[in-house]
Amino acid sequence: MTRLPELNTTDAYSDQNSTNETQCINLNDWGWLTRHQPAYLFIITALGIVLNVFVLLVFCLHKKACTVAEIYLSNLAAADLLLVSCLPFWAVNISQGFNWPFGEALCKMVNAGMKMNAYCSIYFLVLVSMDRYVALVHPMSYGRMRRPKYAKLGCLLVWGLGLLLSASTLIFRAVKYFPEHNIRACTLLYPSQMVELVCDGMLITFSFIIPISIIAFCTITIIRALKKQSLARSKAQKSEQKATTLVLAVLVTFLICWVPFHFITVLDVLRKTNILVGCALERVLAVCDQIFVYLSIFNSVVNPILYVIIGKNFRKKVQEVCKQCGVSRETTASTRSDTSATLTTFT
**Model pLDDT for residues 182-192, shown as the tens digit of each residue:** 889 999 899 98
Q: Under the phi-then-psi rule, with left for phi > 0, alpha for psi from -120 to 50, and beta for the rest, what region is 98?
A: left
Is pLDDT larger for residue 297 or for residue 308? 297
Question: Which ranges constitute the DSSP H helices of 273-311?
Answer: 279-310
User: What proportions of the chain, in percent to the nearest 5, are helix, strand and coil?
Assistant: 80, 5, 15
pLDDT 10s digits, 19-72: 444 456 665 556 666 678 889 999 999 999 999 999 999 988 888 888 888 899
Give me the domain span that covers residue 291: 30-227+235-318
CATH of the domain at 213: 1.20.1070.10
Per-residue pLDDT band for 173 (boundaries 50, 70, 90) equals very high
Q: Are 301 and 54 in contact (CB under 8 A)?
A: no
pLDDT 10s digits, 125-159: 999 888 888 887 877 666 666 788 899 999 999 99
> What are the CA-CA distances from residue 233 to residues 61, 136, 228, 248 (Å)?
31, 12, 12, 20
336 inside domain = no
Q: Which of 4, 73, 3 is nearest to 38 (CA)?
A: 4
311 inside domain = yes
Helix (H) or strand (E) holding 66: none
Query: How many domains is the chain built from?
Result: 1
Q: What is the pLDDT of residue 232?
A: 46
327 inside domain = no
97 inside domain = yes
10 inside domain = no
pLDDT-above-90 percentage for the chain? 29
Helix (H) or strand (E) holding 174: strand 173-178
20 inside domain = no
Helix (H) or strand (E) holding 189: strand 183-190
Is pLDDT larger for residue 24 or for residue 290? 290
pLDDT 10s digits, 202-226: 888 998 899 989 988 988 888 887 7
344 inside domain = no
Question: Could you give the CA distance from residue 264 to residue 111 in angstroms, rounded to a whole number?
Answer: 19
Q: Which of 53, 5, 8 is nearest to 31 (CA)?
A: 5
pLDDT of 108 above 50: yes
41 inside domain = yes
